[in-house]
Amino acid sequence: MLEERFARPAVDVRVTPNYHAIRTAHFRLTLKTWFKGLDKALLGLAAALTFILTAIVAMLVIGLAQALSLLQDAATDSWQRLLVVAAWQGSTFVLLRALREAAFMPRARAFFDSLPLRPEQKLRADLVLALQSYSFLWAPIAWCIASSGQPALACWSLAELTILSLCVNLALLRGARRAALLAVLALANFAAAHGTAAWVEPLRALCAVLACAALRAAHLPGAVPLRSRPRLRAFADRLALGSGLVVPLLSHELRSNLTVRLGVIAATLAACLTVIALRTSDASHASVVVFVAAIAALALYSLPALCRRTLLTKLSFLAGNPGFARRMRFSVYALPSALFAAAVLAAWPFDRSGTALRDAAVFALLYLIGVAGARASLGVVTWFMPLSCAVALIILSAML
């Protein structure tokens, strides 16, 4: 009895890595990193543009929901169904492509492929994180189901569309061209099948099954060959050295963070143009620069300090080199400032207020104050910038 007791290990030494937990943790940490330094800026944006943001979000949700409701109407012809499916597919692909690094860990794919993981584990993690990445796109689906006279039929049709779009997106983002082509053909057949004939619904279900089979095959070992990255050219090397490695830092380490910042600025410009286009009153004095400059100042003022801190942390052994510090210092401040100027210049042609120069000067001054405060690591700047930009935006927009 004692021999058997001491011969059996008290703890099982075979530890199975929780692949799904690793992927989920990476997803959350990556999103947290992307929005680092933007939390208070986004709060300030929401506080200053509450009415505009509410109107735009409601318009997008209701418009997409009404488009999806056409899929449940038997009178909808093939061309209308194709347009609706194309709009949904484009929206979901753009969203998942933007979240590709966070949701699918493409850089670690070679490492995970070397582990004894079942294809079902990888497929389950891809599906769960992709469904989470759809985020606000679930709102029009819920709206469409709630407003439908036949909720069961709406759920079934939208479930088929969601499955097909997931298969297409995951196959494309994984690089499985054959599986993606088969899934696209299944999605096209689903969109083209219309009417109330008895064969229509079985055909749509068969399309979903074929797309799922193609996606399952894309996750099998060896289904997608690893592609080596092309080597940097001489121009890229000179650009990296001339900028003190700031350009490679922004294009690799901080690429997603920079994309979020520029995306917020671009979305603000698009929102202003949309509101002007839908405005029923006189839009001859509409101001665009004041909104874009405010958001650009909020989104970019902390970028120089973030670039400097990240670069010195990763390359601390070069921090004492005077030449490296000089090159890095110029690029760290010049590139974000150039992005701020480019955002203001992009909004300038659409401004009709006559006060674009004044608005740009005010927010340029606030941007410089924010850059100096972030460089000095002043904690007060994290609430001073959103508050001051919101106050300036309210005052300047009210003076039109």
Q: Is residue 108 one of the residues assigned to a domain?
A: yes
- What's residue 46's pLDDT? 59
- Mean pLDDT, the chain, as a whole number? 76
pLDDT of amino acid 56: 59
Output the pLDDT for position 228.
47
Query: How far, in Å, are 54, 63, 70 from residue 59 at the CA level?
Result: 8, 6, 17
pTM: 0.59
Same domain? 80 vs 182: yes
User: Whose structure tokens read 């057949």?
Assistant: 189
260 and 388, same structural domain?
Answer: yes
Report how far residue 301's alpha carbon sits from residue 135's, in angstroms, rounded to the nearest whole number.
28
Domain limit, last residue, from 218, 247, 274: 218
12 within a domain of the structure (yes/no): no
Q: Residue 9: is its pLDDT beyond 50?
A: no
Q: How confident is the model at residue 16 (pLDDT cuts 50, 70, 90)?
A: very low
Looking at the fold, whether 214 and 238 belong to one and the same domain comes out as no
pLDDT of 76 above 50? yes
Asked if the structure places residue 91 within a domain, the reply is yes
Confidence tier at 220 by pLDDT (50, 70, 90) = confident
pLDDT at 315: 64
Q: Above pLDDT 90, what percent of the chain?
A: 5
Q: What is the pLDDT of residues 352-361, one digit of tens each?
A: 878 888 889 9
State yes or no: pLDDT of 134 exceeds 80: yes
pLDDT tops 80 at residue 298 = yes
Q: Residue 341's pLDDT is what?
A: 92
How far apart, in whole angstroms, are the C-alpha atoms of residue 362 and residue 289? Answer: 11
Q: Which two structure tokens, joined as six digits, stand for 258? A: 């920079």
Indicate whether 197 belongs to any domain. yes
140: left (phi over 0), alpha (psi -120 to 50) or beta: alpha
If DSSP states are collapsed to H, E and C, what string results for the chain? CHHHHHHCCCCCCCCCCCHHHHHHHHHHHHHHHHCCCCHHHHHHHHHHCHHHHHHHHHHHHHHHHHHHHHHHCCCCCHHHHHHHHHHHHHHHHHHHHHCHHHHHCHHHHHHHHCCCCCHHHHHHHHHHHHHHHCHHHHHHHHHHHHHCCCHHHHHHHHHHHHHHHHHHHHHHHHCCHHHHHHHHHHHHHHHHCCCCCCCHHHHHHHHHHHHHHHHHHHCCCCCCCCCCCCCCCHHHHHHHHHCCCHHHHHHHHCHHHHHHHHHHHHHHHHHHHHHHHHCCCCCCCCCCHHHHHHHHHHHHCCHHHHHHHHHHHHCHHHCCCHHHHHHHHHHHHHHHHHHHHHHHHHHHHHCCCCCHHHHHHHHHHHHHHHHHHHHCCCCCHHHHHHHHHHHHHHHHHHCC
For the segment 320-347, what is each residue's pLDDT rounded down to a tens digit? Answer: 566 666 667 777 788 888 889 999 999 9
For residue 26, CA distances in Å to 20, 22, 181 come to: 10, 6, 29
**Mean pLDDT, residues 366-370 taken together:** 91
Please check whether residues 197 and 254 belong to one and the same domain: no
Q: What's the pLDDT score for residue 314? A: 67
Most confident of 158-167, 173-182, 191-200: 158-167
Per the structure, the count of domains in the chain is 2
Q: Calculate mean pLDDT across residues 165-185.
A: 87
- The last residue of one of the domains, among 183, 218, 253, is 218
Whether residues 77 and 192 share a domain: the answer is: yes
* Structural contact between residues 385 and 370, judged by C-beta atoms closer than 8 angstroms: yes
Domain boundaries, position 338: 234-398
203 and 239 housed in the same domain: no
18-66 pLDDT, tens digit each: 888 888 888 888 777 766 655 555 655 555 555 555 665 666 677 777 7
Q: pLDDT grade, residue 3 (50/70/90)?
A: very low
Residues 265 and 364 in one domain: yes
CA distance 224 to 246: 33
Res. 243 pLDDT band, cuts 50 70 90: low
* Neighbouring C-beta atoms of residue 186, cutoff 10 Å: 24
Task: Quickly state the pLDDT bin for 254 (edges 50, 70, 90).
Answer: low
163 and 250 in a single domain? The answer is no
Residue 3 lies in a domain: no
How many whole angstroms separate alpha carbon 187 and alpha carbon 170?
A: 14
pLDDT at 12: 41
